[in-house]
Structure 1
Amino acid sequence: MQVLVIGGGVAGLVCARTLHRKGYEVTLIEATDGLGGRVRSDQVDGFILDRGFQVLFTAYPAVQRQLQLAALDLRAFDPGAIVVWQGRHFVLTDPLRDRDPAALAGAVLAPVVPFSDKLRTLQVALRMRRHTIDDLLAGPDRTTIEELRALGFSTQMIDRFFRPFFGGIFLDRSLQTSAKCFRFNFKMMSDGETVVPNRGMGAIAEQLATDLRTAGRIRLNTRAVALVEESGRVCGVRLADGSTMMADAVVLATPAPETARLSGLPMPEGQLGSACVWLATRQPLYRGKKLILNADEKAFVNTLAPMSAVAPGYAPTGWHLYAAAILGVPEQDDSTVVARAMVDLNRMFINEATATTALANARILRVDRIPFSQFRQPPGLHPNLPDNRTERRGLYLAGEVTEASSINAALLSGERCAEAIQADLPR
């Protein structure tokens, strides 16, 4: 039984690997020169740069099933975050997971948000731990901002913490994303760690691809331009070079816009983009392994991540690597984007002489632009997402578009797509 998987992101890799292990004759084709899609890393002058800033939650259920976590040499961010507000740095952290006494004491005393909000956050975290994922996702939906207000959080807490923190996850500081996404992500962070592999996020894709590479089942630089259909059934694809590849089942494991183009089927509308300025300094901008959140309502840089402090493998000895994450894709050229980012970073460290000097001598390594980082996830969207099976016989979907916009969802969709093919086309 021959299966053709189009797209070498994590969903396509999981689907292809699962079917390969079950004895199907699988071929995975990828239009670019590497695997992973957005979960990919590059070597640049001895640094490891991911395709935009991203992290992995170890509590993701699909991660527990699909990845050998020990082999990834995972390194964890410290719980909580440092909030920059009016030029001052304030620590907010999770007392259930943070073992740093100084961070805990600083968080209790930090005046950036009311103490009542800190207690409320702890209560929410405890409730999330007690409930299952299914419990948290049941019932009617609403926006994240509505959820936070209903939970009793103050305007200060929402504006100074939740907008930059969850806005960074959802790529939307207005927090119009489904509250079910908020609950799920909050639980994942409460139940596990926030990590990156020491050799970059691309290590995830490389691990998933090992069996397929060994068996010679992957073709890179191979772009599908159209589906081939015979007798009312999708049976292959036409490639950019004019050749065709035939199969008993075809899986589209591509981003939503490309899936819509190839299949002609409706996909979730609205895309959210992101950008990232990668910079390296000789001196650390700050100590520790917490994210820095820019609480300024006019923030250009939303988040600053100390990548090499968390995972030393990201940078050569003697260098400190940072990812300055930007929501949306700026229209300006790279030099202008870098200039705007540096203005924000200098404001964030305006009272830190050592950091200011380090920024003045920073080395800019790359500017990433990811036009399609996520699809919009307003309340009520998820029950109406496409199924792994499509109305076109022989055509299946594997990708976050069938579940939600996250690494867990991509892995889960790959699993479910493989299950559907095994049920429909048993060996």
Structure 2
Amino acid sequence: MHVLIIGAGLAGLTCGRILDSLGVRVTLVEASDGIGGRVRSDYADGFTFDRGFQVLFEAYPAARRHLDLDALHLRRFDPGAIICLAGKRFVLTDPLRDQAAALDAALTPIIPPLDKLRVLLLAQRLRRQLIDEVLAGDDETTLAYLRRSGFSEQTINHFFRPFYGGIFLDRSLRTSAKCFRFDFKMLSEGAAALPAHGMGAIAGQLGDALLERGLIRLHTPVAELITNNGRVTGARLASGEELFADAVVVATPAPEAARLSSLPMPQGALQTITLYFGGSQPVYRGRKIALNAAPDALINNAQMISNVAPEYAPTGRHLLSATVLGASPLSDDDLFRAALADLRRMFAGDADALAALEGYQPLRVYRVAYAQFPQAPGIHPLLPDNRSGRPGLYFAGEFTEASSLNAAMISGEKCAAAVIEERQASRF
């Protein structure tokens, strides 16, 4: 049996790796110059630049199944966050996992005491539940769920909007509450982390062996699928070359999957911009993310990457990243200037931080036009199945599950299982 996989992101790599381990002949074709899809890293002048700020939740079930977490040498963020608002900084944390910051967090006035208790109770409840229980029941927006759970508007605006806005890429909190509960559970059970050598190391673990064996063809865009007597039997490349297989897996982002298959896919695209700055001094100490709680924020969150993962910067240098939600009409230069101005507002009153920022220089900008698909309440049961409904055609991509690294790997697993099931049923 030969399986052609179109796309070498995490879903396609996971699917190909599983099939290859089961003795199935696989060929992966990738339009770009490397594997990993949106999970890639660039290296220049001693710095590591992930293509968009991302983290790995080490509690992800799929990550634990498919990745050697120890070999990634994970560098962990401390739980909680630094909330920046009106020239002041407020520390939040999980007192059970970050005792060093527990007292400051207990005394901070940015979150009412009852809401701090609600956060602890929610974490305890979700830790006790299985993932299927967390995802069960009717759906609603994250905002409606938080309000129904009793959280104040102060806590919603100052913490949940910027923190989960950075995860969902939408500060409105219109994202499905099931996504919120799942991510909250993951963060309460494990750390958010960066591989010491960049997020691209995740793709490397999944796909480097396939690449070295010549099973992945880079710079190989696909023009269209080939169909014979109603069955998808291969793909015609942009070069005109035709590749044939017993099964074809489309493992691309949803818009490309829709183009190739002409089947319905999740609509819309959430965009984001990551700006990298380099300096000689850290803007702040510690390994927490800094949230911009200002209602007119340009930067949603900033993080001293080199505090968390020193390997991301050369000796004597520091790396700061800043996340802007959505697109921006500003040029790169103007966007860097506006972001630095916003960083100064975030750290107003902190003389050391402001002095450090004076020495920071722009390094890189990544504008991610398709970072996630919008996940409105109720969308998940409507997502495509791994089986397309067309003979010979399968899907492996986050668009069959949810918009996350975990979901991409799960989709790859399920797709591989579907292909194997058909092989056993048809014995081809």
Deviations along 1:166-216, one digit per CA (max 9) or x if unpaired, are: 111000100000000000000000011110100000000001013312322
Spell out the pairing of 1:249-288 with structure 2 (5 A cutoff): 249-288=247-286
Alignment partner, residue 193 of structure 1: 191
Is 1:117 the equivalent of 2:115? yes
Match of 1:370 among 368, 371, 374: 368
Alignment partner, residue 222 of structure 1: 220
Alignment partner, residue 72 of structure 2: 72
Alignment partner, residue 352 of structure 2: 354
TM-score, structure 1 normalization: 0.98
Deviations along 1:139-174, one digit per CA (max 9) or x if unpaired, are: 100000000001100010000000000111000100
* Matched AA of 1:315: A
Match of 1:162 among 144, 160, 163: 160
* Partners of 1:3 and 1:249 within 8 A in 2: yes
Alignment partner, residue 321 of structure 2: 323
Is 1:143 the equivalent of 2:141? yes
Alignment partner, residue 406 of structure 1: 404
In 2, distance between residues paired with 1:393 and 1:44? 45
TM-score, structure 2 normalization: 0.98
| Alpha-carbon RMSD | 0.9
* Matched AA of 2:244: M
What is the CA-CA distance between 1:391 and the residue it aligns to? 1.9
Alignment partner, residue 103 of structure 2: 105
In 2, distance between residues paired with 1:118 and 1:393? 53
Deviations along 1:323-380, one digit per CA (max 9) or x if unpaired, are: 1011112122111111111111010111122221222221211111001100000100
* Matched AA of 1:19: L
* Partners of 1:44 and 1:365 within 8 A in 2: no
In 2, distance between residues paired with 1:374 and 1:262? 19
Alignment partner, residue 50 of structure 2: 50
Structure 2 residue matching 1:71: 3-state secondary structure: coil
Alignment partner, residue 81 of structure 1: 81
What is the CA-CA distance between 1:45 and the residue it aligns to? 1.7
Alignment partner, residue 26 of structure 2: 26
* Matched AA of 1:221: H
Q: Which runs of 4+ in 1 moved over 6 A?
A: none
Is 1:16 the equivalent of 2:5? no
Is 1:232 the equivalent of 2:257? no
* Matched AA of 1:134: D
Structure 2: any 5+ residue segments left out of the alignment?
none
Structure 2 residue matching 1:70: 3-state secondary structure: coil
Structure 2 residue matching 1:357: 3-state secondary structure: helix
Alignment partner, residue 379 of structure 1: 377
Percent of pairs with identical residues = 56
In 1, distance between residues paired with 2:417 and 2:222? 24
Alignment partner, residue 311 of structure 1: 309
* Matched AA of 1:240: A
Structure 2 residue matching 1:69: 3-state secondary structure: coil
Alignment partner, residue 212 of structure 1: 210
Q: Which shows bigger deviation, 316-325 or 356-365?
A: 356-365
* Partners of 1:252 and 1:396 within 8 A in 2: yes
What is the CA-CA distance between 1:10 and the residue it aligns to? 0.5
Alignment partner, residue 60 of structure 2: 60
Q: Which shows bigger deviation, 44-53 or 408-417?
A: 44-53
What is the CA-CA distance between 1:67 and the residue it aligns to? 0.4
Match of 2:201 among 196, 199, 203: 203
In 1, distance between residues paired with 2:189 and 2:349? 35
What is the CA-CA distance between 1:392 and the residue it aligns to? 1.7
Deviations along 1:236-276, one digit per CA (max 9) or x if unpaired, are: 11111111111111111100111111110100111101101
Structure 1: any 5+ residue segments left out of the alignment?
none
Deviations along 1:360-412, one digit per CA (max 9) or x if unpaired, are: 22121111100110000010000110000002211100010000000000000
In 2, distance between residues paired with 1:25 and 1:387? 23
Q: Which shows bigger deviation, 327-336 or 54-63?
A: 327-336
In 2, distance between residues paired with 1:336 and 1:5? 41
* Matched AA of 2:23: G
What is the CA-CA distance between 1:108 and the residue it aligns to? 0.7
